[in-house]
Chain A
Amino acid sequence: MTTLAEQPDVERAEPARRPNRFRSDRTTIYLLLLPSLLPILVLSVFPLLRGIYLGFTDARAGRNVEVSFTGLANYRELLGDELFWNSFKIGLLWAVGVTVLQFLLALGLALLLNQQLRFRGVARVLAVVPWAMPPVVVGILWKLVYHPDAGLINEFFHQIGADGLRTNWLGDFSTALPAVILVGVWAGMPQTTVVLLAGLQGVGRELHEAAAVDGASTWHRFRHVTLPALAPVIVAITSLDFIWNFNSFGLVYVLTAGGPGGKTMLPMLFAYEEAFRYGNYGYAAALGNVMVVIIIALLAVYLRRRLREAN
């Protein structure tokens, strides 16, 4: 084994690589990286660390005195805060509901789009349009659809003679959360579909044909060929979807702003209110900390189970 100093310029991993005149000093590399890393450090890494710290303080808006470290006080308060538990429960219902529904629907659509069907082109375009819309616009669009008087859904029930089903979907205690979950599914489904479709196209045709020749039924081939091959994609996209959904804000802010009566108060909305309506920075930051820990814990459990199943 030669020492590093004696190692020639050629790297072992890339035999094709010839000595490069530009493979130069560290300074150049850092100079090239600096314009990117400095802003990330100042406006992303540092705020993140400070945000974590703020969660352990009594920081409040409009107070210029030094914030003081209060340890776990915020967390003790969170534990006893009914509004927090409410938002946490709703956030979980929302994130799991949207993620699962959107996955099932997207899988169905992806399987269909993978077939030789007419209107496949139209469906593929439509499958992408909701994704291209700003979340705020998606919220507005569905506010129009759910509108109690001038909305599409109530008018549909009127047309089929079911006026009894007309209701104020976003304003009613019992329908508000399912209504926003449906919007979440509509908004998130395209992206999941596209990812799953890409995954499906990577599933080998030969395997399928071999299985078909062996007389495996459609369901068997789906269960034993397609699903296992798709598993890594499924794990990745459902994890990401869950994180995104758990942290989502704009869509529901526009639809209901957390109402009626806190029935759609997602954790992010609750934290936003705490921070920017009541000025409780420290408390809101503590909530953010708790959410990160929860997300990491849930993901760890989920990923470990998946990985074990895969082995």
Chain B
Amino acid sequence: MFGKPSRTGRVLQYLALAGYLIFLGFPLVWLLSTAFKPPRELVRLHPTLIPDNPTVQNFVQAFTEQELGRAALNSLQVSLASAVLTVLVAMPASYALARFRSKLGTAALGWVLLSQLFPFVLLIIPIFLVLRQVGLANTHAGLVLIYVVWALPFALWMLQGFVRNIPRELEEAASVDGASRVQVLRRVVFPLLAPGLVATALFSFISAWNEFFFALVLIKTPELATLPVALARFVGIEGTARLGPLAAGSLLATLPSLIFFAFMQRRLSSGSLAGAVKG
């Protein structure tokens, strides 16, 4: 973009790039390395970057002997439920938002921006109280509800964009051909909306999977804890020997989001999702 730089310019650019790669990459390499180290190497005072005797026992240990296995299952349940519910609830609303103009819709979309401003502390205490009143404090159902509500504004925002991209003419043509409203929605809108629904589901799955604060406060029973909370508790009791399973568990906890990002790569680079995925 700056035309052809000089030779020194090029060298400087590559040096800078190398600096960035080290800064971004090395912590990740260290996590990988720790995850594959046997216990003996974890307690060594001067650790090596590449394990002498790499092993997968940390991964096995993290998800069989430790509470992390159960926590991963909890997270999976909660995140799947959040994803499905978010899509089911957001679908009709986003259709209405895209196709009809209404003050209510504008207000809902405005809430997306506004809700970014408020610190969770302001919401968490009343939410905690509301859930306790209806008997949903310390339950996965309560957590799912929170996650759906939390994912909804952005899901609506994203999904109504997908609806707008479906040409209105297609719907009108079908209705002229005598299709009922429900038929039009099922045969025309729904299939064309599929990629948007997948994206919405993935988004709400990931935000539930990564979420920490609400899960920490709302779930008190250790057996019900989600993966981020269990991992954080694991840190608290870390002896050097536990670093291995901790690193392994962390890697596995990252997998779903990595897959999601790989999926959404193109949309991400357009910046449209940029505001959404923030812990």
Contacts and interface: CB of A to CB of B under 8 A. Distances in A.
Interface centre among B17, B46, B102, B268 (most CB of A within 10 A): B17
A29 B100 contact: yes
B55 interface: no
Contacts of A271: 119, 121
A180 interface: no
Nearest to B234: A140
Interface string A272-304: 100110000100110111011001100000000
A76 interface: no
Contacts of B199: none
Interface stretch (A1-9, A78-86, A171-179, A190-198): A190-198
B135 interface: no
A289 B246 CA distance: 37
B126 A249 contact: no
A144 B34 contact: yes
A221 B1 CA distance: 10
Nearest to B35: A144
Given A37-B93, A292-B118, A186 B24 contact: yes
A145 B89 CA distance: 42
B258 A132 contact: yes
B63 interface: no
Interface residues of A, number: 115
Contact of A40 (B125, B149, B209): B149
A284 B217 CA distance: 14
A37 B118 contact: no
Given A33-B97, A292-B118, A194 B254 contact: no
B261 A240 contact: no
Nearest to B125: A281
Contact of B228 (A131, A136, A208, A209): A136
A226 B117 CA distance: 29
* Overall SS of chain B's interface: helix
Contacts of B216: 253
Contacts of A190: 24
Given A32-B92, A143-B235, A249 B122 contact: no
B26 A152 contact: yes
A243 interface: yes
Contacts of B278: 191, 244
Interface in A240-265: 240, 243-244, 246-251, 253-254
Given A115-B1, A136-B232, A194-B269, A296 B43 contact: no
A111 B17 CA distance: 10
A205 B124 CA distance: 48
Interface string A32-56: 1101110110111111101110110
Contacts of A90: none
Given A33-B96, A35-B89, A140-B235, A152 B17 contact: no
Given A48-B126, A144-B30, 15 more contacts: A21-B175, A36-B152, A109-B20, A115-B2, A117-B17, A118-B14, A127-B24, A128-B261, A128-B265, A137-B231, A150-B44, A191-B277, A250-B228, A291-B121, A296-B117
The 3 closest A-B pairs by CB, nearest first: A288-B122, A135-B279, A47-B126
8 contacts: A29-B96, A123-B20, A144-B247, A198-B271, A247-B119, A250-B213, A253-B212, A292-B122
Interface of A: 17-18, 20-23, 26, 28-33, 35-37, 39-40, 42-48, 50-52, 54-55, 59, 105, 108-109, 111-112, 114-115, 117-119, 122-123, 126-137, 139-145, 147, 149-150, 152, 155, 158, 186, 189-191, 194-195, 197-200, 203, 205, 208-209, 212, 218, 221-222, 226, 237, 240, 243-244, 246-251, 253-254, 267-268, 271-272, 275-276, 281, 284-285, 287-289, 291-292, 295-296
